[in-house]
Amino acid sequence: MLGLFLSVALAAPRLGVPTSVVDPEHRGLAHWFEALRAAESGAGVARAIHYGDSTIAADGFSSTLRARLQARFGDAGPGFVSAGLTPQWNHRVDVSYSRGGEWSWRTILLGGAGGRYGLGGIVGIVRAGGYAVVRAVGGEGQPVPQQHVELWYQGGQGYGSYWVSADDREIGRGAAAAATTDDRRFSLDVPGGFTKLAFGAHGGTVPFYGVVLETGRPGATWESLGVIGVGSKSFTTFAGENLKPQVETRRPDLVVVMLGGNEAGYPALLGKGGEGYVPIFASALDTILAGKGAASCLVVTPLDQGYIDEVDGTEKSRPGMKNLVAVQARVAAQRGCAFWSTYDAMGGAGSALTWAHARGIGTGDLVHVTGYGLQILGDLLGDALLADYDAWRAG
């Protein structure tokens, strides 16, 4: 399998344009840089949460960033892992995940959970007797010991109870039943560490948001919170104000927002410089950042896109992409966020067509790229962020 990957990678052309992070005087990323410097000196954890759509839901783009940061600053663990880990919604390469019993999911894409979707935009609802098993794994699939665990879940009327075990030893149990609906968290440091975390429900249904796994050592996390299919309106319509306390509870040092891939065809992008798109994106960004506190923020644009003209059958570039990128850059600057353009890193207008026909990179839909293509883009952003950090530290 590795040989096949290498042959495909070697056959692919060199794509990608080195693109800097736009962050005047490092104002947008200073808090995160401080956390990275502390981690680098062996004194802390720099936590990043990364929101997005299908570009990060399979973890190809974000896993590259995670690997780059943890190689330099230390592996602090997976961090928050959504309870919705399933091929339908979300995936993480740094954990293995299995479950048993009867599960169902509600997400900010489709709604149906009364406005409560946890930190990751997905709530996994399990009936009594259901369970999940999570392990942090390294690049070769080997288990990576963790020391700190948190279980994020929902309390409410008619719910059952939860249980948590580490390496098959129960470490926690409690009721999810409550008079009113609220969000809850079980947290514990496990002396000696563990490699297998399990949790489940008994006595009734329990909605779970996810778990936190950390090594207990200095380092970095890059927590991918992608949900396939989501756009800006998913956050404003369904996540709403209940997302704020979840972000506050996680206390990230960096919040990354990478939306727009499912908005590139919006009519609002076609006229007057895309001004009609401003309130759509700005409202979503404000919703996500409401609970960030002093954390840094980074806006990352979606990939360039193309489409097939229904009249003549030819491939064409999405005409609204340039406006989308310009609007996101402007809104990011107004909110004090750093900005990085995936669109420009691909090569700008028309680059989606080039990438689509590159062997080992194109997927044929003029919208997505393969895991290898996402690795190229992840490395470009990794290069930009580390260069910006080094410049900040030198200054």
Residue 3 has a pLDDT of: 47
Residue 130: CB atoms within 10 Å: 21
Q: How confident is the model at residue 9 (pLDDT cuts 50, 70, 90)?
A: very low
Picking from 375, 377, 309, the residue whose alpha carbon sits closest to that of residue 343 is: 377
CATH class as words, domain 17-76+219-395: alpha beta
**Alpha-carbon gap, residue 108 to 39, rounded angstroms:** 33
Higher pLDDT, 364 or 253: 253
In contact, 273 and 145? CB cutoff 8 Å: no
For residue 380, give the nearest of 337, 351, 356, 350 by alpha carbon: 351
User: Is the pLDDT confidence value at 2 over 70?
Assistant: no
Q: Are 313 and 291 in contact (CB under 8 A)?
A: no
What's the pLDDT at 10? Answer: 45
Average pLDDT over residues 334-355: 97
**Strand order across the 254-258 sheet:** 219-226, 45-52, 254-258, 296-300, 338-340
11, pLDDT greater than 70: no
Query: What residue type is 311 in one-letter code?
Result: V
Mean pLDDT: which of 14-18, 42-46, 112-116 is highest? Answer: 42-46
Give the CA dihedral 120, 62, 288, 98, nearest 10 degrees. 0
Q: Phi and psi of 305, rounded to 5°? A: -135, 155
Sign, CA torsion 125/187/294/326? negative
Which is it for the CA torsion 165, 166, 172, 178, positive or negative?
A: negative
342-351: average pLDDT:
97
pLDDT in tens, 110-155: 999 889 999 999 999 999 999 999 999 998 889 999 999 999 999 9
Alpha carbons 122 and 58: distance in angstroms, whole number: 15
**Which pLDDT score, from 0 to 100, does residue 113 have?**
87
Cβ atoms of 205 and 128 within 8 Å: the answer is yes
Q: What is the pLDDT of residues 274-308, one digit of tens each?
A: 999 999 999 999 999 999 999 999 999 999 999 99
Interior CA angle at 95 toward 93 and 101, to 5°?
120
174-184 confidence digits (pLDDT tens)? 999 999 999 99
- The answer to whether 78 and 221 have CB atoms below 8 angstroms apart is yes
Q: Does residue 379 have a pLDDT over 90?
A: yes
- Whether 5 shows a pLDDT value over 70: the answer reads no
The burial of 217, by beta-carbon neighbours within 10 Å (0-12 exposed, 13-18 middle, 19 or more buried), is given as middle
Distance, CA of 340 to CA of 298 (rounded, Å): 8
Assign 334 a pLDDT band (cuts: 50, 70, 90): very high
**Predicted structure pTM score:** 0.95
Mean pLDDT of the chain: 94
pLDDT at 200 over 60: yes
69: tokens are 């940061």
The third-level CATH classification (topology) of the domain covering 85-216 is: Jelly Rolls (2.60.120)
Per-position DSSP letters for 324-347, written without gaps between them = HHHHHHHHHHHTT-EEE-HHHHHT
Closest CA to 258 of 304, 298, 317, 306: 298
Q: Where are the domains of the chain?
A: 17-76+219-395, 85-216
- Confidence category of residue 94, pLDDT binned at 50, 70, 90: very high
Measure the CA dihedral 230/386/294/253, to 10°.
70
